[in-house]
Amino acid sequence: MSITHLQSFVAVAEEGHVGRAALRLHITQPPLSRHILALEDELGTPLFERVPKGMRLLPTGEALLQHARRILEEVEVAARTVREAAGASRPPPA
Amino acid sequence: MSITHLQSFVAVAEEGHVGRAALRLHITQPPLSRHILALEDELGTPLFERVPKGMRLLPTGEALLQHARRILEEVEVAARTVREAAGASRPPPA
DNA sequence: CACGGTTACGGGGAACGTAAATATC
DNA sequence: GATATTTACGTTCCCCGTAACCGTG
């Protein structure tokens, strides 16, 4: 379970469509599809139902979505916090 | 900032020593050292002070440590939750 | 010169993108 | 036949481990 895979998962969950999510992430469909398959394989359960229009979240996927969003948010906050801590202790470059 | 890098960071922070952290993670020192350097490069600031005995956390590192632990915990919870959700909906294999 | 972290370097695996295949309507 | 995902396949890139190097007590 990598951060990249979680980003991919959230994008597909929100778009309901691998193709559109791929455009949004600036990658092509196959690697993105593989990210989802890898997550499903790792967790041992499908996360989406494949419907003619695209991808629809299953209950397992709904559960993951909440955690994934929180994790990605935490990562953002962590990076920002460290940079702020660095800026606070380091004298301004002027 | 990958999950692997965060795991490496926490191990080094807790051991205060790249060599011992590497043993704990079952990898060799060079890749582990590179994980730390990559994090420091990505965040634009050192996270450890290199002392003769090993690695000592800087304030920036202290800040990251809290977030890193939380993120890793969240990842654990996410995986467990999804597996539980899968088990609840899937009939027992007996 | 012992100890600890880092850099050099080569090889194997991971992951991308193009193209082809599959499935559903 | 159009749309959407997945698989095949070739190539590139990343990352590990071994070995060598650097800095400090």
Q: How far is B2 from chain A (nearest CA, A)?
A: 6
Residue A62's CB: how many other CB atoms inside 10 A? Answer: 13
- Taking one residue from A and the other from B, the number of pairs with CB-CB distance under 8 angstroms is 86
Nearest to A74 among B42, B71, B89 (CB): B71
pLDDT tens column, A29-46: 999 999 999 999 999 999
Which tokens go with A16?
């309901």
**At A89, is the pLDDT very low, low, confident or very high (cuts 50, 70, 90)?**
confident
Comparing A83-87, B30-34, B42-46, B87-91, which segment has the lowest mean pLDDT? B87-91
Q: Is the dihedral of CA A58, A59, A64, A67 positive or negative?
A: positive
Please, which residues have CB within 8 angstroms of residue B45's CB and are 6 or more apart in sequence? Answer: A82, A83, A85, A86, A90, B60
Q: Which residue has the tokens 């002070």?
A: B49
End-to-end CA distance of chain B: 42
Which has the higher per-residue pLDDT, A88 or B13?
B13
What is the mean pLDDT of the segment spanning A57-61?
A: 97
For an interface test with B, which of A64, A82, A89, A90 has the most B Cβ atoms less than 10 Å from its Cβ?
A82
Q: Which residue has the tokens 């900032």?
A: B1
**At A16, is the pLDDT very low, low, confident or very high (cuts 50, 70, 90)?**
very high
Q: Are A71 and B75 in contact (CB under 8 A)?
A: yes
What is the mean pLDDT of the segment spanning A72-84?
A: 97
Residue A39 has, within 13 A of its CA and on its CB side, a CA count of 29
Average pLDDT, chain B: 95
